[in-house]
Amino acid sequence: MLLDPRCPARKPRKELMSILFSIDSLFQLSKSFKDCTTPDYLLASIGSTSRDSIERAYYWLIPTISSSPDIINRLPPSASCFLLQRAYGSEGSENDQLLDLSSPLLNHVNESIDGAFGLEGAQRAADILFFDLASKDPDRRRCARRVLQETVGKMNIANEYPRFASGDFSWLISLTKGKYAASLVQSVTPQLVSLIDTS
């Protein structure tokens, strides 16, 4: 091969693309990279847990997890939140793909907010949702509220707070019952104040 693997990554020349596709087809390299967890090439390809990184990875990430939904469990919590909000706000065939994945994404977001992946995971998931909850974009606010209501809001609070069990803000009551309630409630407060100021 003429390409030096020690050099920085760069786009292959056009004449090499057909060779790469043939090699991939023959040896199933893309599947091997996708399934590999040590190291996790999928997470390395996303780059980080920031919103910008997840947004950049969105268009190749959707077909990847559509073909292997179990990959959802390897995603950072912030990615699941972002994708779930896209599922509720996108249109066309893209929307169909996402809605098919909405159930496992809902479970992953719920586990994230509930603390299954530690405080950092819960905080990153919450930050994505709370940021959009206070957005000036009405679609972002609507999608964030729906995700919060369908994940956090579904927690069992009917016995303690029957008045709020089915309301639009049952998620906020449920949030106070989570493992990392103090940190999450503290971080949502400025966003709620911002939301009140813009309404």
> Residue 176 above 70 pLDDT?
yes
113 falls in which pLDDT band (50, 70, 90)? confident
- What span, in angstroms and rounded, lies between the C-alpha atoms of 111 and 64? 22
What letter would DSSP give residue 8?
P
DSSP H or E segment with residue 41? helix 41-46
Indicate the pTM of the whole model: 0.71
Is the model's pLDDT at 144 over the cut of 50? yes
Is the pLDDT reported for residue 164 higher than 60? no
> Is the preceding peptide bond at 39 cis, omega within 30 degrees of 0?
yes
Instruction: Judge whether residue 35 has pLDDT over 80.
Output: yes
Q: Please say if the pLDDT value at position 190 is more than 60.
A: yes
pLDDT score, position 102: 78
DSSP alpha helices (H): ranges in 68-180? Answer: 77-89, 93-114, 118-133, 138-150, 170-175
The average pLDDT across 44-63 equals 83
> What average pLDDT does range 82-105 have in this prediction?
72
Query: How is the chain split into domains, by residue range?
Result: 38-198
